[in-house]
Amino acid sequence: MKATVLVRPKGGILDPQGEAVERSLRQLGFAVGDARVGRVIDLEVDAPSAAEARVQVERMCERLLANPLIESYEIELQEQGA
Amino acid sequence: MKATVLVRPKGGILDPQGEAVERSLRQLGFAVGDARVGRVIDLEVDAPSAAEARVQVERMCERLLANPLIESYEIELQEQGA
């Protein structure tokens, strides 16, 4: 089963990468604000059901993919052949 | 208008970060494969219409947010108050 995880800096947390992107875009003449930069992780999960896959990916987020203190995560699952 | 851009390494391109994530997840006991790591960029775009916002964000991708030689990008727009 394919899973996509979006990991983003939480609301109050400083995001220097987002600030740099925003500054650079403005210097190029784009009218943008509130830029935030996070990570997207795509992976193939071996699990018997979507429910079980979600549980597994949540554990991966808590243990490795995200830092729950400063980052939030969002999980999307696509069943294969669906 | 809020825009979300997903930037991912293209298919044939080596992704050392994805390989490291996959290796670490397996060492933790997770049954995963094909891990790929990219970036997610959220930003607020000042544009009169969704069509114009999309054109702007495509230009941002080509000029700064992605490296079109080795990365693909996907743009999602959410109109405010919709």
CB A30 to CB B60 under 8 A? Answer: yes
More confident residue, A82 or A70: A70
- Chain A residues whose CB is inside 8 A of the B22 CB are 43
Q: Distances from the Cα of A10 to the Cαs of A7, A67, A70, in angstroms?
A: 9, 10, 6
Of B6, B42, B65, B71, which to mutate for an interface test with A (greatest number of A Cβ within 10 Å)? Answer: B42
Closest-CA residue to B44 (of B67, B73, B77, B66): B77
Q: What's the pLDDT at A82? A: 45
pLDDT tens digits for range A24-33: 999 999 999 9
Compute the radius of gyration of chain B from its Cα atoms: 16
The CATH number covering residue B55 comes to 3.30.1280.10
Ramachandran quadrant class, A7 (left: phi over 0; alpha: psi -120 to 50; beta: rest): beta
Transcribe B14-65 into DSSP letters.
--HHHHHHHHHHHHTT--EEEEEEEEEEEEEE--SSHHHHHHHHHHHIIIII
Q: Does A21 touch chain B (CB under 8 A)?
A: yes
Q: Does B47 touch chain A (CB under 8 A)?
A: yes
Question: How much is the pTM?
Answer: 0.93
ipTM of the complex: 0.92
- Residue B24, number of CB atoms within 10 A of its CB: 16
C-alpha A67/C-alpha A76 separation (Å) is 18
| Domain interval for residue A47 | 2-78
Q: Does A65 touch chain B (CB under 8 A)?
A: yes
Closest Cβ–Cβ partner in A25, A63, A65 for B64 = A25
Q: Say if residue A46's pLDDT is above 90.
A: yes
Place of tokens 């702007």: B56
Q: What is the dihedral of CA A23, A15, B67, A74, to 10 degrees?
A: -140
C-alpha A61/C-alpha A4 separation (Å) is 11
Which helix (H) or strand (E) is A13 found in, with range?
none
* Structural domains of chain B, count: 1
For B57-63, what is the mean pLDDT? 98
CB A64 to CB B8 under 8 A? Answer: no
